[in-house]
Every structure is written in C-alpha cells, then in structure tokens.
Structure 1
Amino acid sequence: MRKSFYLIAGIVVLSAVIAINAFSQNSTPESSENDWNRAITLYKTQYCGCCEQYIAYLRENGYNVEVVNVDDLPALFDKYRVPDDMRSCHISDLGGYFAVGHIPAEAIDKLMKEHPAIDGISLPGMPSGSPGMPGNKEEPFVVYALKDGNAEVFTTL
C-alpha cells in the first residue's frame, strides 16, 4: 500500500514539473532590456567622418551596428517624420524605434529599457563633445522624444 502511495505521489510530482516546464517554455515573457540584442542599423551618407566615429563609439559600448550608406538621407527623415529642427547627419533603426544624431549610449539604453510610447529620439544638430564629435561638451545634451512629428524632452545628459 505504501509503495503505491509513493509511486502515485512521485508520478504527480513528476507530472507537475513537466507541466510547469512546458508552460514556461511556451509562454512569452515581457520584453526587457536584456532581451534586446542591441542591434542598430545606422543610415548615413558615404563620406561622413563623424558618423564613422559615432559607429566606433556605439560598437565600443556593446551595440551590434550594421551600416547602410544612402544617397537620400532627407527621404529617410521624411519617412520617419523627423522635423527639420530635429535632424542630424544620420538616423538609426533600433527595431521599433529610431534614433537621430550623436546620441549617448545612456539615452539609447533608457529608451530600450523603458519602452515609451514614442516613435524615436533625437539629439539634433551635432553638439560639440557628443559621441563621435570633436571638442568639449559645452552644455548638457538634450535628447528629445519624437512622436508623430512632435518633440518633447526625453532626457538631459
């Protein structure tokens, strides 16, 4: 009788373990920063030197960067609805978001960790001392969140 009890209890426990394991493998957990493979596709013109420096910066910070040279960068800005005053020398696709300009890694990581309901981010112009740009940082970098062509402050670094 006892042997039957232990055998049945063992089967129940084993079945529960198998069921829990199957459920956890088939469920899709919420996306997190750790799930992001840090893949960036950066679009730039062929001869942009500061873009090359920014690409090196991104790679040094652990991003997987694919570079695509384009002839018509303004057309990409139009496609992503980036206002004229939020444009720079390149635009990146982060898989669900875009990023314009020489944005510090901290702002990209914040974007991918928080997953805000925006289209992308921009550090407009080419501020001195920003990643990939020569010179010293002269003032805080204001990174803007862009949604439907409108901009508001995302973070200040």
Structure 2
Amino acid sequence: MHTKFTLTRRQLLVGTAHTALAASAITEAAAATDVLPRVTVTRDPNCGCCIAWVEHMRASGFPVDVVEIDDVVPLKVKLGVPEALMSCHTSQVGSYVVEGHVPADAVKRLLAERPDATGIAVAGMPIGSPGMEIKGEAPRPYEVVIFSNDRQNVFARFRGTRQT
C-alpha cells in the first residue's frame, strides 16, 4: 500500500522557513557558548599604549570596558599584583587579574585552563608586545608570568603576539 504525499508550494516554503529558523537558533546557541567574558581595564588617562592593548583585545573578540584613574597602583596592590610584575595598566577578566601587555591568546588560555592563580602578567612594556609595537622595530621576546600570593612561574613565552 502506497500513500501519495504531495506538498503544496506554500507548505514547502513554510517548511523551509521553519528549518532555516531552527538552524539559525542552533547556530546562535553555539555561538553564545563561545562568547568571551568582559575585560575591565583600569589605566592612567595619559597612557597611549594601554588603548592600543585594548584594541588588541577587542580585535581578539573580548568585550572591553575602560576605567581611567590617575593612580592605578592602589588597585594593583589590592588585586595582589607583585611589585616586580607591575606594568602600565591592570585588567580584570572573570576571576583573574591580567597585568600589562599580555597577548589575548594567553588570556584565552588562562580562561580555558582555569588554574588556581591570581592572574598573569607581562612585566614592564616589552617592545613588540600587544600595544607596544614600534614601526621598524622587531618584536623582542618576553615572558607571560602566572602569579599568586606565594609563587610566580613562566606561563608562556612570546615574541610579539606569537607564542614561542
């Protein structure tokens, strides 16, 4: 016994629209799970390299808020940034501190691995690190350090934005 099934053009269009809506909803739900957390950057309003780092983070997919204050040091101390690792700006993302010109890829790794630490830092302002690019100057190698109250270790090594 065969049952003949025929679709009208209207039924076909409605079915196609429903399928497209369902596929779109699935894609949006998958994309929502890949959304990066908001980064709050606290910086001195007179520092230009901090804005370049903010742009690096935004280009890497992070939503970023910027807070400007004249003296960032008290915040660094409050958040537990060791003096030897202090740089020009301090950021908070999730439960972590990100100090200085840390590449976005290192921040993404930190968030993916979720180590028991206060945060990560790039001490000083190494030439070629994100926000510290200088035209005509080759990026210099530098370390991203992971830190907590009782320890500091190398988390990653970079030259520019490339891990080495």
Specify the SS of the correspondent of 2:87. coil
Could you tell me the TM-score, scaled by structure 2's length?
0.71
Asked if structure 1 preserves the Cα contact closer than 8 Å seen for 2:99 and 2:121, the reply is: yes
Specify the SS of the correspondent of 1:41. strand
Asked if structure 2 preserves the Cα contact closer than 8 Å seen for 1:82 and 1:149, the reply is: no
What's 1:154 paired with? 155
Q: What amino acid is the match of 1:137?
A: P
Specify the SS of the correspondent of 2:91. strand
What's 2:76 paired with? 77
Asked if structure 2 preserves the Cα contact closer than 8 Å seen for 1:38 and 1:62, the reply is: no
Q: CA offsets per residue over residues 60-94 of structure 1, 9 Å max, x none?
A: 11110000001221101110121111000000000
Which residues in structure 2 correspond to 1:16-95 (within 5 Å)?
34=33, 37-95=36-94
What's 2:104 paired with? 105
Structure-2 separation of matches of 1:35 and 1:106: 14
What's 2:8 paired with? none
Specify the SS of the correspondent of 1:130. coil
Deviation at 1:40, TM superposition (A): 0.2
Cα gap change, 1:123 to 1:108, in 2 (>3 Å): same
Asked if structure 2 preserves the Cα contact closer than 8 Å seen for 1:83 and 1:150, the reply is: no
What's 1:24 paired with? none
Structure-2 separation of matches of 1:88 and 1:132: 12
Q: CA RMSD in A?
A: 1.4
Could you tell me the TM-score, scaled by structure 1's length?
0.74
Structure-1 separation of matches of 2:34 and 2:55: 23
Deviation at 1:35, TM superposition (A): 5.7
What's 1:137 paired with? 139
Specify the SS of the correspondent of 2:56. helix
5+ long unaligned stretches in structure 1: 1-33
Asked if structure 1 preserves the Cα contact closer than 8 Å seen for 2:43 and 2:50, the reply is: yes
Specify the SS of the correspondent of 2:75. helix
5+ long unaligned stretches in structure 2: 1-32, 159-164
